């Protein structure tokens, strides 16, 4: 029957130490990704408005739009540190 090999007996705790590490790593990436997306949206909106008035602000707008991505890199580093511990 299809799916018989997917049934696992619940003999242990729902989340053991490895599960908690994986959950912590996932949360580190998720929260930093959402925060970065929100910040990039706000900065991008302001940068587009500024560039509509003055095209010379393109470089500054581009740099300011990319800066929030470093937050995700920090989340990735935290996730890798959590999984290596």
Judge whether 18 lies within some domain: no
Whole-model pTM? 0.72
Helix axes 17-53, 69-84, angle to 10 degrees: 170
- The answer to whether 36 touches 74, Cβ cutoff 8 Å, is no
Judge whether 64 lies within some domain: yes
Q: List, for residues 27-85, the tens digit of each pLDDT value.
A: 999 999 999 999 999 999 999 999 999 999 999 999 999 999 999 999 999 999 998 87
Q: 19-43 in b/e burial notation, b at 16+ Cβ within 10 A?
A: eebeeebeebeeebeeebeebbeeb
Range of the domain at 84: 36-85
User: Which pLDDT score, from 0 to 100, does residue 49 have?
Assistant: 94
User: Which pLDDT score, from 0 to 100, does residue 12 have?
Assistant: 63
User: Which pLDDT score, from 0 to 100, does residue 8 have?
Assistant: 55
What is the chain's mean pLDDT, rounded? Answer: 86
In the chain, the number of structural domains is 1
- pLDDT bucket at 4, cuts 50 / 70 / 90: low
CB atoms within 10 A of CB 16: 10
**Residue that is written with structure tokens 């996932």 in the block:** 26
Judge whether 42 lies within some domain: yes
Judge whether 55 lies within some domain: yes
């Amino acid at each position: 029957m299809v799916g018989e090999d997917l049934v696992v007996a619940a003999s242990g705790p729902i989340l053991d130490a490895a599960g908690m590490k994986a959950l912590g790593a996932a949360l580190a990436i998720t929260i930093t990704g959402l925060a970065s997306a929100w910040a990039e949206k706000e900065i991008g909106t302001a940068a587009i408005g500024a560039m509509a008035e003055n095209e010379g602000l393109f470089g500054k707008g581009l740099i300011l739009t990319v800066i929030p991505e470093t937050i995700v890199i920090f989340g990735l580093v935290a996730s890798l540190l959590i999984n290596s511990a």
